[in-house]
A = this chain, B = another copy of it.
Amino acid sequence: MNFLEERIMKDGIVKEGNVLKVDSFLNHQMDIGLFDEMGAEFKKRFEGKPINKIVTIEASGIGIACVVARHFNVPVVFAKKSKSINIDGDMYVAEVESFTHKCKNQVIVSKKFLGEEDHVLIIDDFLANGCALQGLISIVNEAGGTVEGIGIAIEKGFQVGGQVIRNLGYQLESLAIVDGMDAATGKIEFRK
């Protein structure tokens, strides 16, 4: 087990309905030392890639992205989430449909902050069905930039998001891939 899997075993809580609560260290209270370790690990895994920007999505991706960014010495741009609204032409907008909530959302980035010159590492805390992530990829591509890789803290391996992204040929690095959980016993099975 790596450092993140160990932390999930120690402080993660499995709830009914395949819910994994990690709000004590990842996405409500945030352990900055842990994020720093994640940054060092992503730096290793994306060694040699000409990354000049990190893109993430509000809200819980922002903290990880900012701490990871110190290891790459690059700025962070965070996409905003919104219910569908009219946006003026200065924004890249991706419409994404949530599998779970059956609602449409927009993922929005100002055109000022993404362009052809950008080699992007996308960072987020969770990957399940991957709707938000698909929106982020769509926006980087629309801007003419390059997705150099995707770094995720926790992937739910039993949901479709990760497989889709790997099938599309992207380098997706998830620090912990959860293949199964049992709320009754609290057991968590990680992918080897």
**Chain A contact residues: helix, strand, loop or mixed:** mixed
A130 at the interface (CB under 8 A from B): no
Q: Which residues of B contact A23 (CB under 8 A)?
A: 110, 112-113
Q: Does A186 contact B (CB under 8 A)?
A: no
The distance in angstroms between the C-alpha atoms of A110 and B29, with both chains bound, is 9
Copies of the protein in its oligomer: 2
A117 to B127, CA, bound (A): 34
Q: Which residues of the partner chain B approach A74 to less than 8 Å between Cβ atoms? A: 32
- A35 and B31 CA atoms in complex are apart in Å by 18
CA gap between A23 and B112 in the complex, in Å: 10
Contact partner of A67 (CB less than 8 A), chosen from B67, B75, B80, is B67
Contact of A59 (CB < 8 Å), options: B32, B35, B62: B62
Asked if A35 contacts B66 (CB within 8 A), the reply is yes
Contact B63 A80 (CB under 8 A): no
Tell me how far the C-beta of A63 lies from the nearest C-beta in chain B, rounded to whole angstroms.
4
Among B30, B69, B73, the residue within 8 A (CB) of A75 is B30
Contact between chains at B67 and A65 (CB < 8 Å): no
Do B63 and A32 touch (CB < 8 A)? no
